[in-house]
Structure 1
């Protein structure tokens, strides 16, 4: 690889991994802020741990895989951390696959809420593997080019072996899960089951089906890229590695309609709050015609924060000698209009 190609590859790597890191950070933030809206139960905690492990791995990958090669112990530490964190990613993916299948088999029960029972598997199993590898082949962690597992003495198989095993097992589990979900949805369409209960699990299964080969193929190619030191493998690995965070954000946040609606309403409330600082503070005593209850509200357009296509009216009566008029607003969650009905002139101005 020429020096020019190496510089271009390095630039794309930093840019792509930077985008992935930002996307994963946004995903984790949305999962914390809108956790009740996501309503995934234990799956939410599995996804959080999975994405957290991937985030930490990408950060260490960007800042350490090449920059720490001149210090042996530091390079070995970076290689061991990358080994551990990427194994954590695959272990959490396996935990997700197993849980999805269990939820389907147990008729989508939500009784299992003790997600921390999965912590020893997701974070502890990789630690056990890395500890054994370090004890047997510490000197092969890192080299003069990369802070990664050396191919000498087969050390790299302490990562590739578990990764391939998890991909194989998880693929079988996800296929069985999708078949079971299809059967349940078929029964629900005939009125013998509930279709709504399958939505969260189906979405998670689809996301796992996309992410599993993406992560797996990325690191299989990554092993060849390091071993063969070829430009083609290096570019493919860099591009796929850059897509991981973006795909996670799209699959788990942007494709969630309920979450998009919630985020849109929250942004709308913020804008409405800012506008209210400049609106008139005059209040009318009016009546909500739908419920018949007197309410007191500002003259600006109201917003109740709910998703509802129904219109609501809020009005007040003004008297001036022999004339009278009704002024108020008609609104729903998407628009509002002021109206006036003047009885003295027997004319009115009402929104279409």
Structure 2
């Protein structure tokens, strides 16, 4: 449906809302007949002694348009007594609660690839009042008879904005009470649905709990290690060269990445405002791109040291590297925010089982990129290019080291030190991030645990490499171009 069709559909919905809110009727409730197919609506008269209300699809008459279906999955909505509390603070003649059930998503088109569970949209409105921030949520239940093996389910509501309308999960919590039932707990009135998103990687609750604990410990350790490295650099910055300053910028990006990653689940909680989660998701994306960019800069710098040792002069070298390392990711993220800020927000990490939470571990939501296209291009694509470039540089470094050792009379006497050098360069160039491309088939679980362990402790491994360089700087200076410190004096600021 085009934009014009979408606006026309919203106009019809507003007409129906006004009809239900303004039409006088006798008794306590009214069932309205509409000229639009696949829509049912109800209106209720309420007072300030409202005890709560439970509505079930069993109380609704059948629609001729859905009789052809073998079994129409039921649904229900439960409203708390608190619903009328704010409205009753002002003098009122009558409160009216209207409920509209859409058995089609025709009137609510967001992304062309958006899929809703059962194609159901359930809406409610209390008079002309805006009901939000309820202490006890409105409970909406959707039953289904579908296999959702490869889907992530998220409770959403229709949010009308100044720029464009779309589905949002703000103020809603998703719970899969049973394999055939999805419960939405939302703290406001609106039009609700369950968004279905294809997911390639699904974990059990136990596996997700283990990965979460590893990430928590690893990121915390890396934050401390990066802070120590930066402080050591500040303490000895008079003796530092451009090489060390590049390392410190990499540590700064790793510090930002780990800090925002740890904050992400906190601001993705239902109680946190969606704008805060959107902002943090953009910062997290920026931190990741910066980290990957500085890894590529480390590879570029190592390439210069290995292959152009005797002919290096780059005016304002470090300043230009900082413009690339911090500026390019900022431009990319700002461009995404300008084009479509809804790309960033709450992202639910799916579980493979429904959720037999015998471990007490709930689904995790994080503030992250929600668009598959942006994730594919500006996360996986960016990571892939960085990893490919640094793997080529690492291969060149290993080749140079092998040629140097082949010329020595006793090539085996420095095997241990060479092994540490290779391992350090492997860490420095971030080649472990290439593991992200092995998340399929039998590699999925080993890859997830290896990726989580190696990259959450990445800052700590960099710290160990930094310390080893400091302790063996004098010896490395005599080794030749394959070690970084040997050529640092060649770089011009």
Q: TM-score range by the shorter chain?
A: 0.5 to 0.7
Cα distance in 1 for partners of 2:229, 2:474 equals 13
Q: Contact 2:221/2:460 (CA < 8 Å) preserved in 1? A: yes
Alpha-carbon distance in structure 1 between the residues aligned to 2:268 and 2:335: 23
Question: Pairwise mapping of residues 203-282 of structure 1 onto structure 2 (< 5 A)?
Answer: 207-213=424-430, 215-217=432-434, 235-254=449-468, 256-258=470-472
Q: Is the 8 A contact 1:218 1:241 kept in 2?
A: no
Secondary structure of the 2:429 match is helix
Contact 1:53 1:85 in 2 (8 A): yes
| Corresponding position of 2:388 | 168
* Alignment partner, residue 157 of structure 1: 377
* Deviations, residues 173-192 of structure 1 (Å, cap 9, x unaligned): 232244345546767x59xx
Classify 1:3/1:104 alpha carbon distance in 2 versus 1 (closer, same or farther; 3 Å): closer
CA deviation map 1:183-229 (0-9, x unaligned): 46767x59xxxxxxxxxxx98875332343555146557xx69xxxx
Which has the larger displacement, 150-159 or 140-149?
150-159
Residue among 239, 251, 254 paired with 1:51: 251
Aligned length: 242
**CA–CA distance in structure 2, aligned partners of residues 109 and 185 of structure 1:** 24
| CA-to-aligned-CA distance 1:67-126 (integer Å, 9 cap, x gap) | 334322111111111111111111111112112212233225675573112111111111
Which residue matches 1:93? 295
Which of 95, 116, 119 does residue 319 from structure 2 map onto?
116
Aligned partners of 2:373, 2:307: CA distance in 1, in Å? 43
Matches within 5 A, 1:14-33: 14-33=216-235
TM-score calculated relative to the size of structure 1: 0.58
Please state whether the residue corresponding to 1:48 is helix, strand or coil.
helix
Cα drift, residue 259 of structure 1 = 6.6
Question: What is the rounded CA distance, in whole Å, between the counterparts of 1:209 and 1:4 in structure 2?
Answer: 31
Q: For the residues of structure 2 that align with 1:234 and 1:159, how far apart are their CA atoms?
A: 17
Rounded to whole Å, the distance in 2 between the matches of 1:203 and 1:5 is 32
- Relative to structure 1, the CA distance from residue 219 to residue 130 in structure 2 (aligned partners, 3 Å threshold; closer, same or farther) is farther
The 8 Å contact of residues 140 and 152 in structure 1, kept in 2 or not, is answered as no
| Change over 3 Å in CA distance of 1:48–1:109 after alignment to 2 | farther
Asked whether the 8 Å contact 2:298–2:429 carries over to 1, the reply is: no
2:261 to 55, 61, 75: 61
1:333 paired residue number: none
- Tell me the alpha carbon deviations over residues 277-326 of structure 1, each in whole angstroms, 9 at most, x when there is no partner: xxxxxxxxxxxxxxxxxxxxxxxxxxxxxxxxxxxxxxxxxxxxxxxxxx
The question of whether the paired residues in 2 share the 8 Å contact of 1:65 and 1:78 is answered with no
Contact 1:42 / 1:113 at 8 angstroms: preserved in 2?
no
8 Å CA contact 2:387, 2:434 repeated in 1: no
Gaps of 5+ in 2: 1-202, 348-364, 410-418, 476-493
Give the alignment's Cα RMSD to 1 decimal.
Answer: 3.6
Equivalence for 2:117: none
Partners of 1:131 and 1:56 lie apart in 2 by: 17
Cα deviation, residue 165, structure 1: 0.7
8 Å CA contact retained: 1:207, 1:252: no
Whole-angstrom distance in 2 between the partners of 1:233 and 1:174 = 21
Distance 2:319 2:420 in 1: 23
Contact 2:433–2:455 under 8 Å retained in 1: no
Q: Is contact 1:93-1:208 (8 Å) kept?
A: no
3-state DSSP of counterpart to 2:268: coil
Q: Is the CA contact 1:69–1:147 (under 8 Å) kept in the aligned structure 2?
A: no
- Whole-angstrom distance in 1 between the partners of 2:448 and 2:401: 38
TM-score (norm 2): 0.42
- Structure 1 equivalent of residue 121 of structure 2: none
CA deviations over 1:229-260 (Å, ceiling 9, x no partner)? x9776644432333212211111214542479
* 1:109–1:91 Cα change, 3 Å: same
Displacement of 1:164 in angstroms is 0.5
Larger helix share, 1 or 2: 1
C-alpha distance in structure 1 between counterparts of 2:447 and 2:398, whole Å: 32
Question: In structure 2, do the counterparts of structure 1 residues 15 and 240 end up closer, same or farther at CA, with 3 Å as the change threshold?
Answer: same
